[in-house]
Amino acid sequence: MLDKKLQIKMANTLRVLCAEMVQKANSGHPGAPMGLADLAVVLSQHINVDPTHSQWLNRDRLVFSGGHCSALVYSLLHLWGFDVTLEDLQSFRQLGSKTPGHPEFGHTHGVEITTGPLGQGVANAVGFAMASKYAQNILGKEVINHFVFCLCGDGDLQEGISYEACSLAGHHQLDNLILIYDSNAITIEGDTQIAMSENVKMRFEAQGFEVLECDGYCFDSLNQTFDKAKSSKQPTLIIAHTIIGKNAHTLEGSHKTHGSPLGAEVLAQSKQNMGFDSEQSFQISQEVLESFRQTMHRGIAMYQQWETTISQDTQAKIQELQNPDLSAIEYPTFQEGTQIATRVSNGEILNAIAKKHQGFLGGSADLGPSNNTLLKNEGDFPNGRNLHFGIREHAMGAICNGIANYGLFLPYCATFFVFSDYMSASVRVASIMKSQVWYIWTHDSIGVGEDGATHQPIEQLTHFRAMPNLYVFRPADANENLACVKVALTLKAPSAFVLSRQNLEVLPSTNQDRVAKGGYALCECENPDVILVATGSEVKCALESAKILENEGKRVRVVSMPSLELFREQSQEYQDSVLSNRDRTIAIEASRGLEWYEYANQVVGMQSFGASGKGNELFEHFGINVKTTLEVARKICQ
């Protein structure tokens, strides 16, 4: 342990840096960073990271679930030796800086994952811990033995996603997970007692955690608590009793420090009280800097030691996980004219990938047999690759973000498409990061049938297609499904597969090569009188309608559009060659379909929620059929 006086100086340096960053930006959250400064000093003496090899596989992972605490994140990264300069701290929250308002993966050196919506980071940390456990299982405990630290606050623990994630962590006894609860009893509206009176300690003990409590300002207590947490056989929650805005003069302990600058007068007096020159800004003494840099020096030494211990075979395994030979995958084949639901064909494809890609793993929110996501002969986590998330869609998505960002694995997760709403926040964060996570969303339309409106997605396609960096695939048949998967394997971004419950005929003219363009002509003609564009089960409706119109002497082009996102990435020339005349284009899709008006004059789609009844009867009832398509097409052709 460092000298106590030095530790106090280090903590106060952090406090002042964070407060000054927020003050200079005139925006941000000084309260939590100031309250956590002492704990951050002790964490610096326990965490193992190497800024010179920031992707070292066996590094400890640090997640700030309270992403608003970013001033502390950036201050620590700077002091630990990452590529975050003092000038970057001074540019906090400014356009184009390395130090945005909430930490962003890939944007700032040393940030492990993008956090923002409260509770996401807790579930991300569980994902990191699960990835670490599986990596340890296949690579060995001498190769993977790091910890996952997660700093969270009252807001994180009030969000339901944290309950879901921690329930799963306790179930799997993730002893590599250490949650650090900044228990300052303050949220934006004031004291937590206005909305929260539960016993957090008892809650986590009931979920299978070891719970340790400590004074957030006693260095000896903090150090001993970290030692106990690292030797626990359970996931650990450290309840650190802190004071928001610690040492913030008259604002210490006030909820006013949460999301606003301290103000020049309070900041100047606070600095003076802590022994800093109130006239100078961003002061870091050489003694303090050298003390924080011990984190880097220790990490460099540990990395070098680790490098000498892993064998060539282990290095080869790691390389194979990070760069799998996708050409070795033996995909299933699907015969034209056969009937197979895309959820079923997708299950066969997932299993084919798993046989050749050791880093491919995932599961479902208690719907594996229905989503067809179980990997055969692979066993269950932590010894196998089948992840059973339980009925926890909120946490499932965020856990997979952690698994994806771990650096070895391609995770997938699955549920019914209508429940994708529960996952929206984590899908959005994955899209911001461009993390390669796969979402398997089955039961894609009113074709769900008797379960009724509550289980029939009609607006979800529009929602997720509006999300940047997310590739949404709705294949027309098994062969298009296979082609979509092959494309998704090459994308450094999240992908969503929206799949049918009902059987779909394997069509004669789906073109796997052209699926990579997002949309293509199934039935081509020059100067069409009408263009019918469709996805999923509605492609068959478009083909049947085209035959009737052609018998009536009309020139008809039928376009399958499994991915609007891929189509938009093509040249304007290609897009115009496929959808050449908006005024004569009809989109057919059993969804709200508002996005289709970019390309189509009219949409044969859903104008209301669904209903309970047999799937085929519902398509007729709501007019998603040949009859309606012909009526619209004939008017266009007049």
Instruction: Give the pLDDT score at 560.
Output: 97
Model confidence at 511, pLDDT cuts 50, 70, 90, reads: low
Q: Is the pLDDT of residue 509 over 80?
A: no
Q: What is the pLDDT of residues 38-61, one digit of tens each?
A: 999 999 999 999 999 999 999 999
Instruction: Give the pLDDT score at 237.
Output: 98
CA 190 to CA 308: how far, in whole Å? 52
Radius of gyration of the chain (CA): 27
Q: What is the pLDDT of residues 358-390, one digit of tens each?
A: 999 999 999 999 999 999 999 999 999 999 999
Does the annotation list 182 as a binding residue? Answer: no
Q: Which residue among the candidates 393, 538, 565, 595 is catalytic per the annotation? A: 393
Model confidence at 131, pLDDT cuts 50, 70, 90, reads: very high
CA 342 to CA 477: how far, in whole Å? 6
**For the chain, what is the mean pLDDT?**
96
Q: Any catalytic annotation for residue 393?
A: yes
DSSP-assigned beta bridge partners for residue 340:
504
CA 212 to CA 222: how far, in whole Å? 10
Instruction: Give the pLDDT score at 508.
Output: 83
Same fold, 4-306 and 338-506: yes
Model confidence at 443, pLDDT cuts 50, 70, 90, reads: very high
CA 186 to CA 177: how far, in whole Å? 25
Domain boundaries, the chain: 4-306, 338-506, 516-637
Instruction: Give the pLDDT score at 188.
Output: 83
Does the annotation list 186 as a binding residue? Answer: yes
Does the annotation list 88 as a binding residue? Answer: no
**Which H helix or E strand runs over 633?**
helix 626-637
Q: 3-state secondary structure string, 127-176?
A: HHHHHHHHHHHHHCCCCCCCCEEEEEEHHHHHCHHHHHHHHHHHHCCCCC
Top CATH class of 516-637 equals: alpha beta
CA 309 to CA 413: how far, in whole Å? 34
With tokens 């492609």, the residue in question is 539
Q: Treating both helix axes as pointing N-terminal to C-terminal, what angle do 264-273 and 4-25 enclose, rounded to 10 degrees?
A: 170
User: Is the pTM here over 0.95, yes or no?
Assistant: yes
In one letter, which amino acid is 47? I
- Mean pLDDT over residues 203-220, rounded? 98
In one letter, which amino acid is 254? S
Q: What is the pLDDT of residues 265-275, one digit of tens each?
A: 999 999 999 99
Instruction: Give the pLDDT score at 510.
Output: 66
Q: Is the pLDDT of residue 612 over 80?
A: yes
Q: Is the pLDDT of residue 344 over 80?
A: yes
Pick the closest to residue 260 from 251, 273, 272 (CA basis): 251
Domain 338-506 CATH assignment equals 3.40.50.970: yes
CA 497 to CA 427: how far, in whole Å? 13
Q: What is the pLDDT of residues 453-502, one digit of tens each?
A: 999 999 999 999 999 999 999 999 999 999 999 999 999 999 999 999 99
Does the annotation list 190 as a binding residue? Answer: no
Instruction: Give the pLDDT score at 136.
Output: 97
In the chain, the percentage of residues whose pLDDT exceeds 70 is: 100
Domain 4-306 CATH assignment equals 3.30.565.10: no
**Which H helix or E strand runs over 74?**
helix 70-80
Instruction: Give the pLDDT score at 477.
Output: 96
Q: What is the pLDDT of residues 155-192, one digit of tens each?
A: 999 999 999 999 999 999 999 999 999 999 888 888 88
Number of H helices and E strands in the chain, helices first, is: 25, 20
Q: What is the pLDDT of residues 60-76, one digit of tens each?
A: 999 999 999 999 999 99
